[in-house]
Amino acid sequence: MDTIKVNMFALSVCEIECKNVIDLLEMFRRVQNVPTKQSELQNLYEEVKHTDAGKQSFVRNAISQWNALARKYNIGVVHNGEHRQSCTEIGYHRVCRKVAPNSKREKLAYIDTNLFPVFSL
């Protein structure tokens, strides 16, 4: 399997300076940026960082923080048309989320690299 690389030039200065953004990118890189359950990303984060986050979810909070940063500075992607149907995020955002199949609460997270080319082979 090819390893994807992070294209840091696609990020804004405020994103590069945010450690949570860099940690999230590493988690998405490790799962080849396929839509992944947030709980699975959280487990991967805890395994890689050798930490137990307990009740607090780093991944869920970091995604929310990064998307809030994108809305604040009007950076990121805005879906319309066909993309709107698969992503539940509204307005500017960097991390897309959608409801997982067979689940009402679990969300899948991924980065739309068609609109935000932060990964390359």
For 63-91, what is each residue's pLDDT tens digit?
999 999 999 999 999 987 665 667 889 88
The pLDDT value given to residue 97: 92
In the chain, how many H helices and how many E strands? Answer: 5, 5
The pLDDT value given to residue 109: 95
The pLDDT value given to residue 80: 74
**Residue where the block lists tokens 């890689």:** 48
6-60 tens-digit pLDDT: 999 999 999 999 999 999 999 999 999 999 999 999 999 999 888 876 656 899 9
CB-based burial label for 22 (10 Å; 0-12, 13-18, 19+): middle
Tokens of 67: 């998307």
Can you tell me the distance from the alpha carbon of 71 to that of 57, in angstroms, rounded to the nearest whole number? 21
91-101 tens-digit pLDDT: 899 999 998 88
The pLDDT value given to residue 103: 80
Domain count for the chain: 1
Residue 109: domain span:
5-120
